[in-house]
Amino acid sequence: MFTITPLAGALGAEIGGVALATLRDEQTWQEIHRAFLDHSVIVFRDQALAPEHLMRVGARFGEPCFYPFVAGMEGYPYIFEVVKEAEETKNFGGNWHSDTTYLKQPPLATLLHAVETPTHGGDTLFSSTRAAYDALSEGMRRMVDGLVGVNSAALKYGGGRTTMHKNIGGMKVHDTDSAGQYEAEHPVARTHPETGRKALYVSRGHTIRFKDMSEDESHPLIEWLQAHQTRPEFTCRVRWAPGTLTVWDNRCTQHNAINDYHGQRRRMRRLTVGAQTPL
Ligand code: SIN
């Protein structure tokens, strides 16, 4: 039986009663898509998904996208493994962000499938940047509506992408020297093309400044918006087990992989889909 169980007040829902690898029923796929738009983060448990199945599920949301800094799996260039080995201390994605906003056309959705998970810890937090936009005062909305963010892959505030990635030994990281070349301007408040709802599209990790403003001038507001959009009431938390698949909407959410499981291995498969110009 197909079920949708919300995870928290602002976003997130667990979908039960479907086996995605063999799901052919078009009506159920439409309901899944509706749930994706309504809840922004959808979670499926116990999904046996080989890489070819993950590609097929991803195709329901959009065309596959390349990630510039990590090599794909053998035979599946669009899927890469997010790995943290037991002896490592740094993790991948351990800061609030929406995926690859430094690209001119970032992916509308990310699919993350858990292969190996720690006994406890290693959850992922999500926040609704749509709820965060809705909660702004009228004056602040007017201000952010007029702003354009300059987004960069350099991870300036995080000490640089090369420094961060070279510490993640379990992943096939490459080409971090080109990080500074990936820069894109996007509206700080973007309109979702399918729901028509506005959401904040700015992050401490990727937005280095606002267009026509200096970094110094931009930084305080970027910091404020980052803190605002990750207030507890705008978040939900996904606990992983092998076979869990989560699909999130990068157009109206941020996520943060919690790094609290040193001494245990975590291995996930990640696919992004649906390159789209934020408007
Ligand atoms: C990511 O930021 O894409 C990784 C999230 C995670 O590993 O939980």
Domain membership of residue 162 as a residue range: 3-274
Q: Is 134 known to be catalytic?
A: no
**Ligand 1 close to Cβ of residue 93 (< 6 A):** yes
Q: What is the CATH number of the domain that holds 99?
A: 3.60.130.10
Residue 99 annotated among the catalytic residues of the structure: yes
Ligand 1 centroid to 159 CA: how many Å?
19
Domain count, the chain: 1
Give 40 Cα–ligand 1 centroid separation in angstroms.
16
The answer to the question of residue 279 being in a domain is: no
Return left, alpha or beta for 98; rule: phi > 0 is left, psi -120 to 50 is alpha, else beta. Answer: beta
- What is the pLDDT, as a whole number, of residue 176? 64
Long-range contacts of 134-143 (CB under 8 A, 24+ apart): 134/198, 135/228, 135/234, 136/228, 141/189
265 counts as catalytic: no
Catalytic position from the list 99, 165, 204, 206: 99
- Confirm whether 63 is domain-assigned: yes
Does 230 reside within a domain? Answer: yes
Indicate whether 130 belongs to any domain.
yes
The answer to whether 154 touches 180, Cβ cutoff 8 Å, is yes
Q: How crowded is the C-beta side of 235, counted as CA atoms within 13 Å?
A: 18
% pLDDT > 70, the chain = 92
- Please give the average pLDDT of every successive group of 10 residues along the chain, which has 279 residues: 96 98 96 98 98 98 93 95 94 94 97 98 98 98 98 72 63 68 95 98 96 97 98 98 98 98 98 98
Sign of CA dihedral 32, 36, 38, 44: positive
- Residue 174: count other Cβ atoms within 10 Å of its Cβ: 12
20, 44 contact by CB (below 8 A): yes
Tens of pLDDT, residues 94-132: 999 999 999 999 999 999 999 999 999 999 999 999 999
Taking the C-alpha atoms of 95, 96, 99 and 102 in order, what is their torsion angle to the nearest 10 degrees?
Answer: -90
pLDDT score at 167: 59
Question: What confidence score (pLDDT) does residue 181 get?
Answer: 82
In this structure, the residue with its CA closest to atom 1 of ligand 1 is: 93
Pocket test for ligand 1, best of 101, 124, 261 (most atoms within 8 A of CB): 124
Q: Which residue puts its alpha carbon closest to atom 8 of ligand 1?
A: 257
* Entry pTM: 0.94
Taking the centre of ligand 1 as the mean of its atom positions, its distance from the CA of residue 72, in whole angstroms, is 15
For residue 20, what pLDDT is reported? 98
Beta strand pairing call for 198-200 and 189-191: antiparallel
Q: Which of 165, 255, 266, 269 is catalytic?
A: 255
The 10s digit of each residue's pLDDT in 176-186 is: 666 668 899 99
State yes or no: is 255 an active-site residue: yes
Hey, whose CA ends up nearest to atom 4 of ligand 1? 93
pLDDT of residue 260: 97
Query: Contact at 8 Å (CB) between 3 and 34?
Result: no
